Each structure stands twice: as C-alpha cells, then as structure tokens.
Amino acid sequence: MAIPKQESLPNSPIFDKNRSGFNPQTGIYHSLHHLPKHHIIPSHPNLNTATYVLSQFPPPEQAETKVALIYSATYYRLTYSQLYKSITSLAAGLYHGLGVRKGDVVFILSPNSLLYPTICLAVLTIGAVITTANPLHTEGEINKQVHDSGAKLAISCPEQIHKLYSTGVPILLTSKEDSNQLSVEELIQNCQALEIPEVKSIQSDIAAILYSSGTTGTSKGVVLTHSNFISVFRLLKWSVDVSKAYDDVLLCFIPLFHIYGLVFFGLGLFSLGNTIVLMERYDFKGMLEAIQNHKVSNIPAVPPVILGLVKHGGGGYDLSSLRRVGSGAAPLSKEVVDGFRKKFPWVELRPGYGLTESCGAATFFASDAEAKARPASSARLLPGFSAKVVDIETGLALPPYREGELWLKSPTVMKEYLGNEEATAATIDSDRWLKTGDLCYFDDEGYIYIVDRIKELIKHNGYQVAPAELEAILTGHPDILDAAVIPLEDEEAGQIPLAYVVRAAGAKLTEDQIIQFVANQAAPYKKIRRVSFISAIPRSAAGKILRRQLIVQCKQQQPSKL
C-alpha cells in the first residue's frame, strides 16, 4: 500500500484518536482493542507461568479424554490428564532427583517432541528458568549459550548430546535409547509418587532466557518474566474469544525453541484446552498429510509455508478442515496474501507482528474482514499495547502515514538482555519503550504497516541471522581482509545472506571456499549463500559498515524481474 504524500493528507494534522488510536498531545498510539475484566491478569503475586497454565487445564472429568497432543507421524495421543501427570512427575524428579532449584537455568536442546511441553512446564513448575536452543547450532554456539545463560543442567535429545560434553554441565537425555545416561522418560516413570514442594515463584521472577540477535549485533539473552508469559496467554485467550476460534485442532511444525513456537505450542495453548498435532520438523508434504489425517483447523505459520501453499496448493490432499492460518516471523507481501486468498477462499489468513523481546506479541486482526480489507497491513495493536513511530533523524513522535521506527510498550516487553546493560539501554529507554528497529507507519484507523527493517538482521526462513556474527567468522579467514554481510531478497526464504568480501593481495579464494568456510562454523540457516568480491567495504568515519550502500549496489546489479 502506497503512503499518501504529505500534501494529500488533511490540512489539519489532527487525526481522530477514536479511529486511529493516535494522541497528538503525547505522540502515542493506543490500542483500539480493550481487554475485558475476565481477561485481565490476576494480581496474585505468587502466580507464575506453570501454575497459571495448569490451573486452566480442563476439569478432571474432561481431562481424562480430552486430547492435548498428537504426534503426527505415529498418531500417538496424550490426554490432558496424562500431560498433567507427566509434568508433575518430571518436576518432582528434577527437584528431588537432580537438585534443580528456583532460579536455576535449564538448557533444552531438542527438536519438537511430545516431551518438549512437559519439560518446559516441569522446569517452570519448580521455579527454574528455561533457555532453548536450535539443534542445528554448532558445538561452539551451544557452548557459548550454555555458559552465557549460566545453565546448571542440560536436557538433550540423544542425537545432540555430543555437542554438550565440552560444556561440563550435567546432561539429562530426553529418551533412554541405549545409553546409561538418565532420561526424562525414566524420571517421569519413577517419580510419580513424589510430591513437589511449594515453590513461590512470583510474576516478576525470570521464566525464560531466549536468545535473539535483538536490534543489532550478536546473539543476546532475552530475559522474559512469568508476568510476560501470562500477559501473552491472556491475550491469546482474548484473541480466541473475539475470533470465535474455540476447539481448534492446531498443527505445530514451528520449532518449539523459537518464541513463536514456545508461546503458542510449548505453553500457551494448553491454557485454552486445545488439541495440538505435533510434527518433529517442517516438511511440506508432511504438513499436508497432517492436515488431512488429523482434520487440522488452524496453522500458525511463517511466510515460506504460505508461499508454498500458494505455489503448490493442496497437492491433492484434502484441506477442507482448514479454517485459519496465521503468519508471523516476517511480513507477507501483498502478492502472496492475494494469491493465498484466491487459492484458499474458505481459509482466514491472519498476519501478525511480534518480537522475541515482546514475548512474540504486538498486533492482531480481530476479524478476517479486517485482514482482507488491508492485505499489506500487520493488523492493529493488541490490548494493553502502546506504540510510537519515532523519526529516525529527529527523535520526534510521528502521526499517521509518517514513517519512523516502531517503539512498543506493554506488559509483555522483556525485562532486559541478560548481563548486557549497554544493549539493554540501547533497546529499552528509561520509560520502558522497546525500540524495535523496524520502520513502519500507522494509517488513520490504527492499522500498522511494517515497511522495512532498520536493524541489520537478515530474516532467513523465519530465523534471525546477525551479519556481525558472520562477518566475525569471515574476517577470521587468513585470506580475507574485510567483509560485510547484507540481506539478498529471495522468494523462497524471504532473505539470504550475501557476503561482500575483500580478499588479501594475491589470494585465490573462491566463492565456494568461502561458503564452505562459514558453513563449518555456523548453523545451516546462517550459511552464506552468495559471495561478491569487492575492493573495499564502504564505511563511515567511525568505521561502521555502510550496509545501505551495499544493498543499493546489490539491487542495481540484480537483473530486472520484468
């Protein structure tokens, strides 16, 4: 959607704040949605994530038969009653058997599994803190996160355990396999009779440390509290009520270690009594089979998945049960949205926006009609959210249709970056405004449009890739003098990392050699996909890489799509 030119706006700069949510006196946009009293977070100080979620489970007579989880590949089902017993047994085992205490950090390294939600909720039940990692990460990346988070215990699937030996942290396997190592399965089986002592975790206590590259630089630990999570769960319940999305069967192929997967499928949806069909990892055919075989009605997805549905349709599978598809992690183009609605006219498509630093929440479409009317928008602010659009040059708050950096404030905003006062101060100001690093504008009815990323992150298939991290690897090569990494637009992945490299004099380094060099030191999704050789990296007087110049240069060198 094109932004109206300044001269086409009303002569008066005053916008109706009842329609736009914008207050010209303060420069603040307020949510046009209001949270009913029964959705407001209870003020009880001892309320924490686990006690809240478990208190919302179906009553015992329903929990015996109500299915909480289905493993897509095997059809194995876990009822809410079984899930509850697994959580409490594992919590008792962690406390009595392994000595995990309130405030201890537990590192989780596993792909999606039926045990993942049990592990998360059990850890939180005893007041410990979860930190999650991508199984694709290298041993070095995992070692760094374990020590940065201060983890006292690691829980790992058997296939990844070798990456943890160098950390020196005790390891608990998810399943027994052929190892003599203690497993989660054993603790659940052997600790059912043990009682969990009362642990007084309060809402301001830390619940999770999730690693994100933030607005710039290398990965940082996003500190999320119990209050952050509970705030999101209450918004999730509100969204279900306004959408009339009761008793949905949801498909999860999103990684549970990611904020999007964790908030929805690892924790929050169990407070609504939903049934979740779980895939270990995403594959397009497997997703279609799961929708057909399990009568899935709702998919929270990411843009590459939606693009696949647009390009390939249902592939001959029966997708008639599908009613809703959400989209997050990156913006959807208008072309993809229009293509999806044309191919699946009976399915509601609800794009949204959120960050790890806002506990995955920020905006929401309350109806499909709203989403259809504004295909380029990322919806309106959720209840309890406020926003500013801040001019990048002047720091002034801007009215509707003016582009600037999006700042957010809500009960879901993170506490801090772990042990990093400088990064925290650069991201959260003294009034607790979260600077997102995203360029946006609001229209005169309170809908937000994400225009571009000010921050330097590359979004590859929904993952965040920090250029600084790849540049550090590249410049570690003896034949590379300097390097800069920028995003290159890609239809399938959204963006791919492209490296501009300055070779040492006389060096014969090739593109393939550079790509392999980085691949040996970084997770697969972080890999350099393209290399361009350059005589010098453009930098400011202060030495900062002028990425925008490289991005413009790259676009000029790309052949036209027309």
Q: Where are the domains of the chain?
A: 19-37+358-453, 48-66+77-201, 458-557
CA 92-95-100 angle, to 5 degrees, is 145
Give the range among 216-230, 268-282, 337-351 with minimum mean pLDDT. Answer: 216-230
Q: 458-557 is classed in which CATH architecture?
A: 2-Layer Sandwich (3.30)
What is the Cα–Cα distance from 61 to 77, expressed in whole angstroms?
17
Residue 461 CA to its chain's centroid (Å) = 12
**If we measure between CA atoms, which residue out of 282, 276, 279, 316 comes closest to residue 296?**
276
Residue type, 366: A
Confidence at residue 11, expressed as pLDDT on a 0 to 100 scale: 38
Residue of higher predicted confidence among 219 and 225: 225
Across 72-150, the runs of DSSP E, i.e. the strands, are: 77-79, 105-109, 129-133
Residue type, 80: Y
Give the range among 26-35, 281-290, 509-518, 552-561 with minimum mean pLDDT. Answer: 552-561
Report strand pairing: 67-71 vs 275-278.
Answer: parallel
- Residue 120 token pair: 């998360």
Query: Does the fold of domain 48-66+77-201 match that of domain 19-37+358-453?
Result: no
Q: Which helix (DSSP H) or strand (DSSP E) does residue 232 occupy?
A: helix 226-243
What is the Cα–Cα distance from 325 to 250, expressed in whole angstroms?
10
CATH ID of 48-66+77-201, from 3.40.50.11810, 3.40.50.980, 3.40.50.300, 3.30.300.30: 3.40.50.980
Dihedral sign for Cα atoms in the order 531, 532, 534, 538: negative
Is 80 exceeded by the pLDDT of residue 5?
no
Averaged pLDDT of the chain: 88
Confidence at residue 106, expressed as pLDDT on a 0 to 100 scale: 98
Is 80 exceeded by the pLDDT of residue 263?
yes
Confidence of residue 14 (pLDDT cuts 50, 70, 90): low
Give the range among 216-220, 263-267, 469-473 with minimum mean pLDDT. Answer: 216-220
Is 60 exceeded by the pLDDT of residue 329?
yes
At residue 190, the 3 state secondary structure works out as: helix
> Residue 531: beta bridge partners?
499
Confidence at residue 294, expressed as pLDDT on a 0 to 100 scale: 96
Residue 104 CA to its chain's centroid (Å) = 23
At residue 244, the 3 state secondary structure works out as: coil
* Contacts (Cβ under 8 Å, ≥6 apart) of 152: 100, 104, 105, 106, 169, 170
What is the Cα–Cα distance from 309 to 378, expressed in whole angstroms?
20
- Residue 334 token pair: 């208008």
Confidence at residue 197, expressed as pLDDT on a 0 to 100 scale: 81
* pLDDT (tens digit per residue) in 236-253: 999 888 877 778 899 999
In order of 405, 441, 466, 550, the CA distances from 215 in angstroms are 11, 18, 9, 19
Confidence at residue 358, expressed as pLDDT on a 0 to 100 scale: 95
Confidence of residue 10 (pLDDT cuts 50, 70, 90): very low
Is 50 exceeded by the pLDDT of residue 7?
no
DSSP secondary structure letters along 322-341: --EEEE-SSPPPHHHHHHHH
Confidence of residue 285 (pLDDT cuts 50, 70, 90): very high
**Residue range 29-51: mean pLDDT, rounded:** 82
> Residue 500: beta bridge partners?
484, 532
Q: What dihedral angle (degrees, nearest 10) is formed by the CA atoms of 371, 373, 378, 381?
A: -80
Confidence at residue 451, expressed as pLDDT on a 0 to 100 scale: 76
**If we measure between CA atoms, which residue out of 393, 396, 392, 387 comes closest to residue 443?**
387
Largest Cα span, the chain: 76
* pLDDT (tens digit per residue) in 176-214: 876 778 999 999 999 988 888 888 888 999 999 999 755
Confidence at residue 113, expressed as pLDDT on a 0 to 100 scale: 95
Confidence at residue 534, expressed as pLDDT on a 0 to 100 scale: 92
What is the Cα–Cα distance from 389 to 392, expressed in whole angstroms?
9
* Contacts (Cβ under 8 Å, ≥6 apart) of 264: 236, 250, 252, 254, 300, 360
- Secondary structure letter of residue 41 according to DSSP: P
Confidence at residue 174, expressed as pLDDT on a 0 to 100 scale: 94
Give the range among 148-157, 371-380, 467-476, 511-520 with minimum mean pLDDT. Answer: 467-476
Dihedral sign for Cα atoms in the order 406, 409, 413, 416: positive
| CB 228 within 8 Å of CB 414 | yes
| CB 370 within 8 Å of CB 357 | no
| CB 125 within 8 Å of CB 289 | no
Confidence at residue 375, expressed as pLDDT on a 0 to 100 scale: 85
Tokens 């100080």 sit at which residue?
45
* pLDDT (tens digit per residue) in 377-436: 899 999 999 999 999 889 999 999 998 999 999 999 999 999 999 999 999 999 999 999
Confidence of residue 47 (pLDDT cuts 50, 70, 90): confident
Is 60 exceeded by the pLDDT of residue 463?
yes
CATH of domain 19-37+358-453: 2.30.38.10
